[in-house]
Structure 1
Amino acid sequence: MTGAFRLLGTPRFGGIMVVSDHASNRVPDDIDLGIDRALLDQHIAVDIGVAGIAERMVERPGIAAFLGNVSRLVCDFNREEHAPAVIPIASDGHAIPGNALDHAGHEARLARFFRPYHAALADTLDAAPAALILSLHSFTPRLATSDEPRPWQIGVLYNEDDRAARIAIPLLEAEGLIVGDQEPYSGRLLNATMNRHAEAEGRPYLGVEVRQDQVGTAEGQARWADLLARVANQVALEIS
């Protein structure tokens, strides 16, 4: 484990690698975001439930997990390095005054977290090429800035490479789930980590977003860990 990431389980050639950019709400002691600490338990700081899912999935043979180890408010790993939101100054209507950094401060934050995270992820995937990368996120049932509910229990996101998505969507629907295809938002817009480490390298990946009310408890996380492990293994078998 480093400041930027946690690696759980043993990556295996031909296995499943779970990648979750927003798995932690940790803010290092020497960083003051200038926000109410209660916000760190909300979706703007962390993808609720994903760490618990990943921790359970790696108990199964052939599955490992690479998890972000700081809050997305400290550094959002699922952005391009030079995108403004990589160190967000606002999120879902909340200002993040501690992120109003000068150039040197911005560069230092990237050097401390963003670059080590992506360098280590690249090394991990190169050392033990997975049959499938499972990009694991969660989404809020509604945004604070919107009254529009999001009905999907899980969304499947992708950019140009939809190989795994086309296999996974009917498998998930067969579980009785309401499945979003490029919902609640499009992977053509928000897919930076998979664009870099999967699509650019020709690696099969399945990008999923689970609705947070499904995975806010230990029971929900266990259920989804089992479901996603089964679906990911089936996709890996069919895509190879």
Structure 2
Amino acid sequence: MSEAWTALGMPRAGGVLLIGDHASNHVPADIDLGIDPALLNEHIAIDIGVAEVAALLIEAGAVDAAILGGVSRLVVDCNRDEDAPGAVPIASDGHAIPGNALDQAGREARMARFFRPYHAHIAATIAAARPAMILSLHSFTPSLASDPEQARPWQVGVLYNEDERLAAPAIAALATEGLIVGDQLPYSGKLLNATMNRHAEANGVPYVGIEMRQDLVRDGAGQGLFAERLARMCSKLSLYIAG
């Protein structure tokens, strides 16, 4: 175990691996972000519901293993390229993060402590037990403080970049659940897909990025319902890959 990541379940060659880059809002005691602590419970700090849904998917046997980010995305955003400015964000959705105004040495220390161990663990897991499919699980806010007029009606989004193998089957499976599905919404995987580009596309592993709307997974009932939907989706995608 590491402060950079949390592992659930047992990876299995030919199985399903879940990756949740933003599943935690933890900020180590020796890091001061300089923000109102209440913000750590908001979408800028954590993908609400991801850790709970991941655990339910493993309990149901729909996913074999999960690798979840160990710290808040405000400490380090692991779904970015390492040299991207947003990997250590100085602002998020209109909120300044003054504690992240780091010099080069400070930024390097943050990368070495969290970002690189997280991605090294994902790479080692895939190398040791190559999955048949990767599920990249995120959640999105129904409304942005910085753009309150933007409508976000989708209940779930499906994201992908160059590898589109599982996109259409995933969209179809989620639509069958009665969900309003966003294809490359609320944002496009062609613009923001760093973890999957690195670990799925670079290795030729089929994957799908799923964005759950956060108001639907804030409580146990919502998380359970979404886990059931995603379990059925994973079952259909596994059959699609095998067939």
What residue number does 2:186 align with? 184
Figure out how many residues of one structure are paired with residues of the other and give that number.
240
Deviations 1:94-116 (A, max 9, x none): 00000000000000000000000
Deviation, 1:77, is: 0.3
Q: Conserved in 2, the CA contact under 8 Å of 1:79 and 1:86?
A: yes
- Please give the alpha-carbon distance, in whole angstroms, between the structure 1 residues aligned to 2:98 and 2:225: 38
Q: Which amino acid aligns with 1:72?
A: R
- Please give the alpha-carbon distance, in whole angstroms, between the structure 2 residues aligned to 1:202 and 1:121: 15
What residue number does 1:163 align with? 165
Deviation, 1:149, is: 2.4
- Which runs of structure 2 are paired with 1:26-45 in the superposition (5 Å)? 26-45=26-45
What residue number does 1:151 align with? 153
CA RMSD of aligned residues (A): 0.8
Q: Conserved in 2, the CA contact under 8 Å of 1:16 and 1:233?
A: no
Deviation, 1:60, is: 2.6
Gaps of at least 5 residues in structure 2 are none
Deviations 1:89-140 (A, max 9, x none): 0000000000000000000000000000000000011111111100000000
SS at match of 1:188: coil
SS at match of 2:182: strand
- Which runs of structure 2 are paired with 1:25-104 in the superposition (5 Å)? 25-61=25-61, 63-104=64-105
Deviation, 1:179, is: 0.3
Deviations 1:182-211 (A, max 9, x none): 001000011000000001110000101010
Q: Which amino acid aligns with 2:140?
A: F
SS at match of 1:3: coil
Deviations 1:204-230 (A, max 9, x none): 001010100110001111111111111
- Please give the alpha-carbon distance, in whole angstroms, between the structure 2 residues aligned to 1:60 and 1:217: 18
Q: Conserved in 2, the CA contact under 8 Å of 1:159 and 1:187?
A: yes
Deviation, 1:24, is: 0.1
What residue number does 1:2 align with? 2
Q: Which moved more, 1:37-46 or 1:219-228?
A: 219-228
SS at match of 2:166: helix
What residue number does 1:18 align with? 18
What residue number does 1:194 align with? 196
- Please give the alpha-carbon distance, in whole angstroms, between the structure 2 residues aligned to 1:145 and 1:96: 15
* TM-score, normalised relative to structure 1: 0.98
Deviations 1:221-240 (A, max 9, x none): 11111111110121022023
What residue number does 1:205 align with? 207
Deviations 1:135-155 (A, max 9, x none): 000000011111222000000
Gaps of at least 5 residues in structure 1 are none
What residue number does 1:227 align with? 229
- Please give the alpha-carbon distance, in whole angstroms, between the structure 1 residues aligned to 2:238 and 2:197: 19
- Please give the alpha-carbon distance, in whole angstroms, between the structure 1 residues aligned to 2:119 and 2:181: 29
4+ aligned runs moved over 6 Å, structure 1: none
SS at match of 2:116: helix
- Please give the alpha-carbon distance, in whole angstroms, between the structure 2 residues aligned to 1:129 and 1:229: 20
* TM-score, normalised relative to structure 2: 0.97
